Structure 1
């Protein structure tokens, strides 16, 4: 159009359409008719066949992109442990539409689109290192879902500033809590004690595919977070995992790295 020194209003007039319809034509929201193609050939050059071929090529390209996008969305949904997420109440039960399930999983992650999810979670949840069993592979998406469940569990907690010295001094005394055999007895006491020194402790069930026993990271306020899974349903394993993660926080702070079969995110 610039080469022919003709503006949009003139071309719209030649086509016999409104400027809004012309804008839709330019943006690919309106198909090109044979009559339109003839007008373009007369005003911009080339042939009617050329402009119709360009329109057809554009439509096919857009269809391929849309199909690719749908395939990507379907693959993303399929990679998620949806059955476990429904079972645990993290997404509503009964969604049969894959598109609706996609939106519900995105909402669980606090995102509106896959693009937003990719930007927020492509590097994982902060600088997380979580401990896994060496003999078991850990599914990345399932573990990411578990970590997100941990994020949500502590989202509303108002923590004081982290006191590293107080946390370090508290750890030997926390071993006494292992005398309690029921999680309903020792978990609230553990959570309250750690909260008093600015450490968030949470538990979350592992979805199918997640083999993590524990994870630790620092939130945006600089408070440590310890997430535990009860994966082996045994008190001794729970306490081993807690003190393992606590040691990383005490010894390495925000630069802690878990070398025992760890998977790193971020």
Structure 2
């Protein structure tokens, strides 16, 4: 890269291929210009890659070279894409500190997919977040544009980078397993009817099975779930509520989140609670938001965030405490 000019070694421009074809045909730039009705300068600009091959030019070349116009257009499109990628890579090269702001555990967990040679590139991380640039990430996550019923900002949390990664991971997992369309009964009515069954399930799953291996934040495998987690997911799915378990980060120890994602109520929980009781309280707390607070807002537990309403949190806590007592937990 030299200033704004991109030096190319391995990607020929359509013009260079055209020059080879002219040589094969025994023509030069002046001959081609005369056959096209163009000036020699205009043709030389095409041959040197300084001028794009337009649909009109491609059709002219088809008539002269007998190579279909679509070939020349596709070659131009591929070349334009290559130039754009190189320009974007160059513009991102001075923003490596942005990438370093995210917890390294993301890579250990394989949340971001890197191809060979992409380890230093920002592109895979941008694809993970489905944003076009670090500036766009700032706008979406830190400048109050995170899409929920109204917009929130992660700018005030201790580590917005880790928190955003946790939230985005939940979105990706949700997209991989779309919810089936529910019958025309409100989620709240289905939840009220199913609540005794959920409480009974909690009562039957008070204690986490003992594990010989301690699960840590750095465990590289995918999200860890046990029979209790999968059972809870299936139970809630029947009533139209998605439950996800996603490992959080030390710098952002969020326990749970409630939001609506693509018109489905989503409860996202940390997958490695030390105590089963803590998991159940967090779950019931988020369930209360589904029951009482509809689509308006997003709530994150165990970290401070803007736009949380104390009265809603108090109501959710009271609901969770009652469910815990009904399930036989000592409060």
- Fold shared by both chains (TM-score > 0.5): yes
For 1:10-49, list aligned pairs within 5 A: 18-19=44-45, 24=50
Runs of 4+ in 1 over 4 A off after TM superposition: 17-25, 66-69, 92-98, 127-130, 256-261
Q: Tell me, what secondary structure is at the counterpart of 2:226?
A: helix
Write out per-residue CA displacement over residues 66-118 of structure 1, whole angstroms, 9 at most, x where no aligned residue.
Answer: 9875333x12211112x211221212479786543x2221222234x316953
- The aligned counterpart of 2:100 is 78
> Residue 254 of structure 2 aligns with which residue?
212
Tell me the residue number matched to 1:91: 112
CA contact (8 A) 1:106 1:117 kept: no
CA distance in 2, matches of 1:69, 1:92: 18
Q: Does 1:140 align with 2:160?
A: yes
2:173 counterpart residue number: 153
- Secondary structure class of the residue paired with 1:263: coil
Match of 1:240 in 2: 281
Q: Deviations over 1:35-64 (max 9, x none)?
A: xxxxxxxxxxxxxxxxxxxxxxxxxxxxxx
Secondary structure of residue in 1 paired with 2:289 = helix
Alpha-carbon distance in structure 2 between the residues aligned to 1:259 and 1:150: 13
The DSSP-based 3-state class of the residue aligned with 1:175 is helix
**For the structure 1 residues 125 and 78, does the alpha-carbon distance in structure 2 shift closer, same or farther, using more than 3 Å as the test?**
farther
Any conservation in 1 of the 2:257–2:299 contact (CA below 8 Å)? no
Q: CA RMSD in A?
A: 4.0
Distance in 1, matches of 2:237 and 2:291, equals 15
How many angstroms apart in 2 are the aligned matches of 1:153 and 1:18? 52
Question: What is the deviation of 1:185?
Answer: 2.2
Aligned length: 207
Deviation, 1:21, is: 9.2
3-state SS of 2:267 partner: strand
* SS of corresponding position for 1:89: coil
* C-alpha deviation, 1:233, in angstroms: 2.4
Confirm whether residue 254 of structure 1 aligns to residue 309 of structure 2.
Answer: no
CA deviations over 1:182-228 (Å, ceiling 9, x no partner): 462211121111111111101011134222100111122x2101000
Contact 1:126 1:219 in 2 (8 A): yes
Structure 1 unaligned regions, length at least 5 = 1-12, 26-65, 131-136
What TM-score, normalized to structure 2?
Answer: 0.51
User: Is 1:203 matched up with 2:245?
Assistant: yes
SS of alignment partner, residue 210 of structure 1: coil
Where is the helix percentage greater, Structure 1 or Structure 2? Answer: 1
Higher relative contact order at CA 8 Å, sep ≥6: structure 1 or structure 2? Answer: 1
Q: Would you say 1:171 and 2:195 are equivalent positions?
A: yes
**Residue 223 in structure 1 maps to residue 244 in structure 2:** no
Conserved 8 A contact 1:198-1:224: yes
Matches of 1:92 and 1:22, distance apart in 2: 37
CA distance in 2, matches of 1:128, 1:237: 29
